[in-house]
Amino acid sequence: MIQHSLFDSFFCPTRVIVVSEERLQQAEREARENHLTAIDLRIEELTKYRTSLAKQLKAETTSQARNGKDLDLMDGGTFDG
């Protein structure tokens, strides 16, 4: 049975990984492309959400104006907005 001390992990040989400059540049490029794709998807989601909110706001504004005019017709007053 092998006994391990608390300090064995401190004295383990370090692991060295050699990567060519081309592979490193390719990995960096892929990371930037993935980030760009994620940003494009987020922009698309936000644009759809913005369009949806704009439609809701327009519908609410139209509905409020219509309701105000209906009430003005009932009481003979004018719509103030």
User: What pLDDT score does 71 carry?
Assistant: 59
pTM (two decimals): 0.54
30-58 exposure pattern, b = at least 16 Cβ within 10 A, e = fewer: eeeeeeeeeeeeeeeeeeeeeeeeeeeee
pLDDT digits (tens, 9 = 90+) for 58-81: 988 887 777 666 656 666 655 554
* Domain-wise residue ranges, the chain: 19-75
More confident residue, 5 or 47: 47
DSSP 49-62: HHHHHHHHHHHHHH
| The most confident of 11-20, 39-48, 62-71, by mean pLDDT | 39-48
